[in-house]
Chains A and B, each alone.
Chain A
Amino acid sequence: MNPLARLLEAALFASARPIPLDELAALDPDASPAALQSALDELRVQYDTVGHGVELVDVGGGWQILTRAEYTEAIERAQLAARPHRLSSASLETLAIIAYRQPIGRAEIEEIRGVAVGSVLKSLLERGLIDVVGRAEGVGRPLLYGTTPIFLEQFALRHLEELPRGDELAIALRTAAPGTS
């Protein structure tokens, strides 16, 4: 393997969080962006073809080494690591709305979901999946929420644009949509 790829592997191994490209670049100031990219590709191909138990993935605006899915059960059985808790349906609904409509206030989320979301917002904030990103104009200047890099990481998204676009959704229901928006 080329020395840059080995350096990147060491850095990725040492980090618990995905490392953004610019931080990887800082590891070797002499490396060009093209060299960096080809080193990452080399590393990924190495993992995929030679047959490693881990893989290199591009998530949440950075690169990360993850174990392969087929070993999860064995690792969990041996109690070496535990999967994070699954999000509740209410949390996922709220998160979905925030992901698409951010920045968005609590009242709008409640309007779409049809239920109060105070406690759900709190738990999403505690999990670091959303954050307060500003305040709206108008009465009370309500807090506005948006998703965080942790959200991208936990859903293995490179960026928000990887989520299906609004017009790709609800196709069956949308076809006959009258002019009611």
Chain B
Amino acid sequence: MDVDILVDPTAPGATDFAGPPPSFDPHRLDAARDGAPAFVVELTQFSGPLDLLLTLIRDEQVDIYDIPIARIAEQFLRCIHQMALDQAADYLEMAARLLRIKAQMLLPRNELDEAWEDPRAELVRRLLEYQQMREVVDVLERLGEERRGRFARAYIPQQVAPPIAPLALSLAELLAATDRVLRVAREPAIHDVVARPLDVDGAIATVRAVLELRATARWRDVCPPSSQPWQVLSALLALLELARRGELRLAQLTPFASVLISRESASQAA
């Protein structure tokens, strides 16, 4: 099977490092362990933790039904050590699984215990399932490649639109049509936006009158609930204007609370 791994062909039994890989990639890492065949893996090339695990098992030439879990787990951890953490979540989960299996294998057990189940069984099942799927991938890859190499007809259905009729028109008809258009266009239906005059000065007078009587007032005192929109706007602008001039102070304790208007002491002199 064609796996995405750069296996050093000269590696078996070699203790010396086998020279530079065919292509340099900063992400590749040397996952060799002492005494084991040296090989160079490119982690970004693996399609997942199961892929990496299968590759390790194949390269170590161990029996998939009797995985030396401690050794494989250690290799696995070495491989994911240099991964960027954001891609590593799936690999870390697998690493945790391997370590758990390793711990379970260490527990003492009664050889006669019929109920004992090999903690590696589930992992083996998943690996076999994954391996089977990889074979399907090879088949699909081959089929897809064959099909890719042949072109089908590239007809794209056009949007069905009736052909444009040839223009048959006399000058008189053209002029008549122009006349109709002009007659319709003479009175264009344009909506006039009439500016509603605001009475800011009047509102200022109202606010001043209210503050003359009371040191503090509320929004409703200067703008009764029945006010028209223009009156509300006038009152608001008046308040802002007076606040700017320093004649009063505006406060709103909480959002949507009634606005408190208080007389600025300095304004009495003004």
A133 contacts the other chain (CB 8 A): no
- Known contacts A72-B150, A180-B121; is A114 also within 8 Å of B155 by CB? no
**CB-CB contacts of B129-160 with A at 8 A, as 1s and 0s?**
11111111101110111111111111111000
B150 close to A68 (CB less than 8 A): yes
A40 contacts the other chain (CB 8 A): no
**What A residues does B153 contact at CB under 8 A?**
13-16, 65
B132 close to A114 (CB less than 8 A): no
How many residues on A have C-beta within 8 angstroms of the other chain's C-beta atoms? 53
| A window 140-181: CB within 8 A of B | 153-157, 163-164, 166, 169-170, 173-174, 176-178, 180-181
Tell me the smallest distance from the CB of B55 to a CB of chain A, in Å. Answer: 13
How many residues on B have C-beta within 8 angstroms of the other chain's C-beta atoms? 44
B147 close to A112 (CB less than 8 A): no
A139 contacts the other chain (CB 8 A): no
B128 contacts the other chain (CB 8 A): yes
Give me the interface of A with B, judged by CB distance under 8 Å. Answer: 13-17, 55, 57, 59, 64-69, 72, 75, 81, 83-84, 86-87, 89-90, 92-93, 95-97, 99-100, 111-116, 153-157, 163-164, 166, 169-170, 173-174, 176-178, 180-181
Interface of B is mostly: helix
B90 close to A96 (CB less than 8 A): no
B149 close to A173 (CB less than 8 A): no
**What A residues does B155 contact at CB under 8 A?**
14-16
A169 close to B90 (CB less than 8 A): no
A113 close to B137 (CB less than 8 A): no
Question: A57–B78 Cα gap in the complex (Å)?
Answer: 50
Tell me the smallest distance from the CB of A13 to a CB of chain B, in Å. Answer: 7
Partner of B152, one of A65, A86, A166: A65
Tell me the smallest distance from the CB of A39 to a CB of chain B, in Å. Answer: 19
B49 close to A84 (CB less than 8 A): no
Question: A17–B130 Cα gap in the complex (Å)?
Answer: 33
A155 close to B140 (CB less than 8 A): yes
B151 close to A157 (CB less than 8 A): no
**What A residues does B51 contact at CB under 8 A?**
114
B220 contacts the other chain (CB 8 A): no
- Closest B residue, CB atoms, query A172: B131
